[in-house]
């Protein structure tokens, strides 16, 4: 494989990891401070994506040294940990949304959610297109799968943006809880996919997430 393209893919995976760390920190801090469940859940999801990103970076690192046709034990373990974390996040968000709806809780403000989601949309779109370009040029299933993972983060950002905008404009208390349930649905889906990938060593271009 082209070493320069693999190095580019590796750099993109590192950017994804560090961006999600920063995004997760900001989102969970302000989500807790402003009592915004959707923003807090979005931040936790970003932290879980870091676990997935580490597995991808490890795989690309291996690809740069030898041809890779299957996942190693580190990558399978990373997928299992990631899947478990996504399931825990799903349960936590469902509990939080139910509690919020029951008590009629509402955020103090969702402005941070609007700003952060717009920034995330722009960043994830750039990363998605860049990873997809490299993946197709290398004809690499793992890198194309990683691009599709990034596309999922892109969609999650729109859920956060929609719920944050709707609350800021209309001040409807349950909008934030509905947004968090949307994030929970994606988290469950990602958790299921992670466990499915961990059961087999083979790599497929049809994988939604590596």
Confidence of residue 68 (pLDDT cuts 50, 70, 90): low
- Please say whether the beta carbons of 63 and 6 come within 8 A: yes
**pLDDT for residue 71:** 75
**pLDDT for residue 22:** 97
pLDDT at 205 over 60: no
Top-confidence residue, 102 or 69: 102
Confidence of residue 72 (pLDDT cuts 50, 70, 90): confident
- What would the mean pLDDT of 182-200 be, rounded to a whole number? 90
- What would the mean pLDDT of 87-104 be, rounded to a whole number? 93
**pLDDT for residue 146:** 85
Top-confidence residue, 167 or 146: 167
pLDDT by residue (tens digit) across 57-67? 998 888 877 77
- What would the mean pLDDT of 12-41 be, rounded to a whole number? 95
**pLDDT for residue 209:** 46
Predicted TM-score (pTM) of this structure: 0.88
**pLDDT for residue 210:** 41
């Amino acid at each position: 494989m082209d070493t320069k393209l693999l190095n580019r893919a590796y750099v993109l995976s590192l950017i994804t990891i560090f961006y999600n760390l920063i995004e997760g920190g900001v989102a969970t801090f302000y989500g807790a401070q402003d009592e915004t469940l959707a923003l807090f859940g979005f931040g936790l999801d970003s932290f879980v994506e870091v676990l997935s990103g580490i597995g991808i970076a490890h795989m690309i690192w291996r690809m740069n040294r030898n041809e890779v046709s299957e996942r190693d034990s580190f990558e399978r373990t990373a997928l299992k940990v990631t899947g478990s974390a996504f399931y825990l996040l799903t349960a936590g968000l469902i509990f939080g949304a139910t509690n919020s709806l029951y008590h009629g809780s509402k955020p103090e403000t969702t402005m941070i959610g609007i700003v952060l989601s717009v920034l995330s949309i722009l960043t994830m779109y750039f990363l998605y297109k860049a990873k997809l370009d490299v993946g197709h040029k290398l004809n690499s299933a793992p890198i194309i799968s990683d691009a599709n993972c990034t596309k999922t983060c892109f969609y999650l950002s729109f859920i956060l943006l929609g719920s944050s905008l709707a609350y800021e404009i209309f001040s409807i208390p349950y909008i934030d809880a509905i947004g968090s349930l949307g994030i929970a649905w994606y988290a469950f889906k990602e958790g299921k996919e992670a466990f499915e990938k961990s059961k087999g060593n083979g790599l497929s271009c049809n994988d939604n997430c590596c």
